[in-house]
Amino acid sequence: MALLEASKSWQGSAPGSVNPDLASERQTASFCVERLTALLDGGAEQTRIRRAVVDAIESDPVFSRENQYFQTQNERYEAAVRKAVHLQKKMHEMGWTENGPEYKYIYRALSGDVAFLLHRVFMRSISVLGSDKQIAKWIPLATQHKLIGSYAQTELGHVGRSATHTVVFAQLYIHGKCYGIHPFIVQIRSLQDHSLCPGITAGDIGPKMNFEHIDNGYLLLRNVRVPRENMLSKFCEVRPDGTYVRQGSQKINYFTMTTVRISLISDEVLTPLMKACTIAIRYSVVRRQSKLKPGEQEAKILDYQTQQEKLLPQLAAAYAFYFTNDYLQELFNRGYREIQRKNFDMLPELHALSSGFKAVITQHCTAGVEICLRACGGHGYSLLSGLPSLYTKILASCIYEGENTILLLQTARFLIKCFMAASAGQPVPPSVTYLAAVKHGKCPAKNKLDFLSPDIYIEAYQHVAVRLTSNTAAKLQDLIQSGVKKHDAWNQCTVQLVQAAKAHCHYIAVKNFAETVEKLETKAGIQKIMKHLCDLFALHGIFSNTGAFLHDGYTSAAQMDMVTASYLDLLAVIRKDAVPLVDAFDFTDKSLNSALGSYDGHVYQRLYEWAQRSPTNQMSPAYERYLKPLLHNTLSKL
């Protein structure tokens, strides 16, 4: 029935025109959208390359996602395989190579809708963990698609229907002694006819909440012999005589996961949130409902404080975590260079940060996409909005590559260890030196404007992170001293340990955002709006978690009221730039694939036209078969 009301507004619209309700939002931008896009891309030249890649992909009909929302799992899988195969051809045609500047934009341009993703993880495992000889043997085979690789570890399997080879992480036993988890290359299907190799049972795990384009599988191995030289052996090796030799930390075997965790943040987590924000915010200035002021026309729903409070914090989080990702990438690159030199010193910090942030960012962004979906009401629930598939896709990121709670507990273990070390005056990695400097002061803010000062809120976040870590460390010690066994004591502290790990990551994210904003000094218009977003991100975190800040009196109730006031004020400020801020993400309509979120804002027209294409609007046999006999009362006698 929304269509009924709205039909007036679009039936007169000229093709190519922009809905005036959306157009007006762009006329009042406080900053240059194109310049912000370039900043996000890392320079105008990068923006140019990215757009060229997107354009080449989107103009090729093989890569079309037009009918995606009407496809079955099998159809989506086949389309994804077709695209993956066509991509090789396309790259050749375009002169794109795996080391070229275009490569990193391909996946975004395809919206991830392509098969053989695990093939990349397969290759990465070999590159990171394989010896030079192994790399020389396998990487060319994989690059030329003479095999299709996969990755097999736990839970949602990865071997599915396509793979011929996989890296299996399994226990290494030598002469009956277990040496722990190691990576092995295992061939699972014939390269000739794709039949399963002897001893292999494998298949697809069936329908999932999304990822229909990916064939996740199960794998059973019975009496399968893997040649010794197929154990990836850059860091660990078994000599012909059965001697086990290790170079450096055994934890290096988990390093593929560390690299995957960091690399997924951008493509699999931030992109869905950024798209969801784009769709929901554009829709919220086109959709009008109820009157805000008596006698006026119905208001844009983004003018309601509650709608702002749903969407704008998600927008701020998208920017915040975008910059967190930059921070993690840089840290990772540094760490990786060291590891290549067999220096493993950064490994614990890298592992703790990648685990914690993988969990925090996926959790935050998943909640954010869900909020965007719900903020679009019934239309958000339609697949045609694009939001359900973004949600079901991002939800998986909370589960794969390490379940979030387990990851947070790994971060917490690192925090407790560092806290103990710092308390004993020992040196700790840079990201946790703050744990040593426990301050017992009070928040110095005197009025609501003070809470727009990064110094004030960064210190508040730091205080909470230190308090949660030190309190939990104390609880742990008390339990152990009272006679509880160490593992039981740890288990009894895990709910609070998770809180500490989250607080640590949140603190770093806020601090990093503020530092990023500070460095933008010359680009005035952009710095100002980024500062607003940083403030909003920080204050939203406090507003949503007031207890943590109030608990020990660091922040008083009066100060919390100031936080609330400043936070609500910011919503109204950022609301004015909401559309330009999502425009800067620079997603094409094809990439959003959303009837609600396209650049021109012709929401109702698209919804109506797209619905016509749905198979549900073709004549269903249900009428002739069931409804007609029912209505004509000619059903077999009741």
Q: Identify the residue among 205, 480, 484, 573 touching a second copy (CB under 8 A).
A: 205
Element (H, E) at 590: helix 589-592
Binding positions for a second copy, 59-78, rule CB under 8 A = 69-70, 72-74, 77-78
Q: Which member of 24, 59, 88, 477 binds a second copy (CB under 8 A)? A: 88
Q: How far is the CB of 589 from a second copy (least distance, A)?
A: 18
**Smallest distance from a second copy to CB 176, Å:** 18
Q: Which residues are annotated as a binding site?
A: 154
Least CB distance to a second copy at residue 34 (A): 33
Interaction residues for a second copy, span 549-568 (CB under 8 A): 549-553, 557, 560, 564, 568
Of 239-247, 424-432, 513-521, 626-634, the segment contacting a second copy by CB under 8 A is 626-634
Single out the residue of 316, 359, 384, 394 in contact with a second copy (rule: CB under 8 A). 384
Angstrom distance (rounded) from CA 554 to CA 48: 48
Site for a second copy in 4-23 (CB under 8 A): 4, 7
Site for a second copy in 394-413 (CB under 8 A): 395-396, 398-400, 403-405, 409
Which tokens sit at 10? 């679009």
As a whole number of angstroms, the distance between CA 319 and CA 588 comes to 19
In whole angstroms, give the CA distance from residue 256 to residue 412: 21
Cβ at position 630, least distance to a second copy in Å: 5
Residue 242: CB atoms within 10 A of its CB come to 10
Work out which of 85, 139, 420, 436 binds a second copy, going by CB under 8 A. Answer: 85
Q: Are 373 and 387 contacting, i.e. CB atoms less than 8 angstroms apart?
A: yes
Among the listed residues 148, 167, 505, 510, the single contact to a second copy using CB under 8 A: 148
1 binds a second copy (CB under 8 A): yes
Helix (H) / strand (E) element for 199: namely none
Instruction: State how far the Cα of 255 lies from the Cα of 350, in Å rounded to an integer.
Output: 10
Report the DSSP pairing between strands 244-246 and 236-238: antiparallel
Burial 524-542 (b: 16+ CB within 10 A, else e): eebbebbbbbbbbbbbbbb
What's the min distance (Å) between Cβ of 292 and a second copy? 6
CB of 32 to a second copy, least distance (A): 31
- Considering beta carbons, is residue 133 or 628 the nearer one to a second copy? 628
Q: What are the CA-CA distances from residue 280 to residues 39, 50, 285, 332, 602 (Å)?
A: 23, 24, 9, 33, 14
Candidates 207-215, 243-251, 345-353, 416-424; binding stretch for a second copy (CB under 8 A):
207-215
Q: Contact between 52 and a second copy (CB under 8 A)? A: no
Q: Residue 378, interface with a second copy (CB under 8 A)?
A: yes
Determine how β-strand 165-174 pairs with β-strand 177-187.
Answer: antiparallel
Exactly one of 42, 199, 207, 430 binds a second copy (CB under 8 A); which one?
Answer: 207
Please confirm, yes or no, whether 401 is among the known catalytic residues: yes
Tokens standing for residue 534: 């940083």
Structure tokens at 436: 């040593």
Q: Residue 287 CA to chain centroid, in angstroms?
A: 28
Q: Which is nearer to a second copy, 391 or 419 (CB)?
A: 391
* Residues touching a second copy, count (CB under 8 A): 129
**Does the protein bind a second copy through residue 48 (CB under 8 A)?**
no
Q: Which of 548, 581, 584, 592 binds a second copy (CB under 8 A)?
A: 548
Rule CB under 8 A: is residue 588 a binding residue for a second copy? Answer: no
Task: Work out whether 152 is an interface residue with a second copy (CB under 8 A).
Answer: yes
Residue 515: CB atoms within 10 Å: 14
Is there binding between residue 94 and a second copy (CB under 8 A)?
no
User: Residue 576 corresponds to which tokens in the numbers above?
Assistant: 């004015």
- CB 86 → a second copy: shortest distance, Å? 9
Binding test (CB under 8 A) with a second copy, winner from 35, 51, 82, 104: 82
Pair of tokens at residue 135? 């790399």
Please provide the distance, in angstroms rounded to a whole number, between the alpha carbons at the two ends of the chain. Answer: 36
Instruction: Compute CA distances 19 → 24, 48, 290, 532, whole Å.
Output: 9, 27, 19, 28
Our CB check for a second copy shows the closer of 341 and 487 to be: 487
Residue from 30, 127, 527, 545 in contact with a second copy (CB under 8 A): 545
Find, among 105, 68, 354, the residue nearest to 211 by Cα: 68
Write out the binding residues for a second copy, residues 590-619 only, by CB under 8 A: 607-608, 610-617
Q: Which is nearer to a second copy, 482 or 633 (CB)?
A: 633
- The secondary structure of residue 186, as a DSSP letter, is E
Residues facing residue 169 across a β-bridge: 183
Chain length of the chain: 638
**Residue 270: C-alpha distances to residues 51, 262, 306, 425 (Å):** 18, 12, 24, 38
Of the residues 35, 51, 208, 528, which one makes contact with a second copy according to CB under 8 A: 208
Which strands sit side by side in the sheet containing 165-174, from one edge to the other? 151-152, 165-174, 177-187
Packing angle, helices 387-397 and 271-286, rounded to 10: 150
Closest approach of Cβ 37 to a second copy, in Å?
31
- Choices 22-30, 151-159, 226-234, 248-256; region in contact with a second copy by CB under 8 A: 151-159
Q: Extract the annotated binding site for FAD.
A: 154
Report the site for a second copy in 456-495 (rule: CB under 8 A). Answer: 485, 487-488, 491-495
Choose the binding region for a second copy from 303-311, 341-349, 456-464, 509-517 (rule: CB under 8 A).
303-311
Q: How many CA atoms lie within 13 A of 482 on its CB side?
A: 8
Q: Which helix (H) or strand (E) holds 102?
A: none
Closer CB to a second copy, residue 291 or residue 439?
A: 291
Which of 32, 52, 135, 156: binder of a second copy (CB under 8 A)? 156
Distance CA(331)–CA(324), nearest Å, equals: 11
Residues 161-190, interacting with a second copy (CB under 8 A): 161-162, 164, 168
How many Å apart are CA 442 and CA 426, to the nearest integer? 27
In angstroms, give the least distance from the CB of 308 to a second copy: 9
> Which one of the listed residues 58, 212, 370, 401 is annotated catalytic?
401
Contacts to a second copy from residues 568-587, by CB under 8 A: 568
The answer to whether residues 464 and 507 touch, using CB atoms and an 8 Å cutoff, is yes
Q: Which residue has the tokens 């891309």?
A: 41
Residue 232 beta carbon to a second copy: minimum distance, rounded to whole angstroms: 17
Query: Which residues are catalytically annotated?
Result: 401
